Amino acid sequence: MKIAIIGAGPAGLTFAALMKRQDPLHDITLYERGPRHATWGFGVVFSDRALEFLRADDEALYQYLTPHMETWPHLTIQVNDTRIPITGNGFSATGRLELLTLLYAYVERLGVRIEFDHDIASLDKVQDADLIVGANGAFSWVRTENEDQFGTTTDWRPNRFIWYGTSQIFDSLSLTFRDTPQGVFCAHHYRYSPTMSTFLVEVEDATWHRSGFEAMSPEDTIRHCEQVFAQDLGGHPILSNNSYWRQFPAIWNQRWSFGKVVLMGDALRTAHFSIGSGTRLAMEDAVALAKAFREQGSDVPAALAAYQALRLPPMKKIWDAANVSLRWYEHMDERMKALTPVEFAYDYMTRTGRVSHAEMKRRDPGLAEAYEQLHPEVLTG
């Protein structure tokens, strides 16, 4: 098969590797509009099982990537100056550019071509391919130019966020909520290398406006955020990588393919960063699509139908949970006012409905017991 993949992110690269390992005769080219040695953002985070989902389909890739992960066994929620470590919630992380660089080398060794600085702007440019994969992110032109074919819906959420980094190193994935005269500021932060951390700042829309960010320069925006989180940064600077305020688009597609064109990763659907599953979901899409072709051979229509049937049920559960999670942040100001730090942390951990009190008790008996003291009715609920 001749396969054209538009976008050399984790989804496209993983799919290229899996397909080339299934059949070295596949002619696979990835088209990436950016240069090899640059990317946006900082680190990417995975759950405690990290890349386990890759083992069954590509043990070599799993073994190749795993040593480059930073890991930690717990989550920390900080409400102003009250710090609440929560056990039973391990995570792993790595630098986005490091992950991509490792994947570039891996697929090129397999014989996959990557065309960097190559902006494919029309499907006509790759019509000679047997399969065209749109893996070019949340703002994919492959999707936006064919929304009627895919049945696309996009729900722009009101909160504002900006994706920074810092040289401050944190001992766990942490969520720091600080109350200010303008409203609550939340930092999602975690180390992704021995010397660097992601530091993503999120605020409600009203807080963003009250803070004056709309008229603020990038330098003043950084200074403002450094002042809010001065205690947490410990004198370390906030660092930008083309960082700017954004709103999150909750994207869904009713149909994942048409003809020989198929979507993966954020081009297919976005999952809010608060559940830490975006990169994993993208790579799992690639695993499912490669598995569909392994089962259906070169029958493209059958493989694309099998891909959606196989992948939809587990992915939809995570997507639904992500959407509940993002809405939780849209009311964090009122939650900070109404809840004690223990109640706030418990409310966060159970926000999607997927963690019951019994499960919370299993993960962190201390937090569960502290909540029971405030709400004894939970014992009989």
Domain co-membership, 146 together with 253: yes
Domain co-membership, 151 together with 280: yes
Phi, psi at 226, each rounded to 5°:
-65, -35
Domain co-membership, 31 together with 131: yes
Per residue of the chain (381 residues), give pLDDT as tens: 999 999 999 999 999 999 999 999 999 999 999 999 887 779 998 876 668 888 888 899 999 999 999 988 899 999 999 999 999 887 889 999 999 999 999 999 999 999 999 999 899 999 999 999 999 999 999 999 999 999 999 999 999 999 999 999 998 899 999 999 999 999 999 999 999 999 999 999 999 999 999 999 999 999 999 999 999 999 999 999 999 999 999 999 999 999 999 999 999 999 999 887 889 999 999 999 999 999 999 999 999 999 999 999 999 999 999 999 999 999 999 999 999 999 999 999 999 998 999 999 999 999 999 999 999 998 876
Structural domain including 162 reads: 158-245
Report which residue type is found at 249.
P
Mutual angle of helices 300-329 and 278-296, in 10-degree steps: 160
Domain co-membership, 197 together with 283: no
Domain co-membership, 220 together with 260: no
Domain co-membership, 104 together with 142: yes
How distant, in Å, are the alpha carbons of 220, 340, 349 from that of 204?
19, 20, 20
Domain co-membership, 274 together with 240: no
Domain co-membership, 128 together with 196: no
* Chain-centroid distance, C-alpha 328: 17
Does residue 320 lie within any of the structural domains? yes
Domain co-membership, 147 together with 28: yes
**Which segments within the chain are labelled E, that is strand?**
2-6, 27-31, 43-47, 70-72, 75-79, 82-86, 91-95, 113-115, 131-134, 152-166, 173-180, 183-193, 196-203, 238-239, 246-253, 257-258, 261-263
Could you say which of 245, 274, 295 is where a domain stops? Answer: 245
Sign of CA dihedral 11, 16, 17, 21: positive
Sign of CA dihedral 213, 275, 178, 155: positive
CA end-to-end distance (rounded Å), the chain: 57
Nearest Cα residue to 104 out of 13, 4, 28: 13
In angstroms, rounded to a whole number, what is the distance separating the alpha carbons of residues 138 and 152? 12
CATH of the domain at 225: 3.30.9.20
How distant, in Å, are the alpha carbons of 16, 29, 210, 250, 266 from that of 205?
39, 41, 9, 16, 23
Does residue 116 lie within any of the structural domains? yes
Which tokens go with 267? Answer: 């081009």
Cβ contact 238:226 at 8 Å = yes
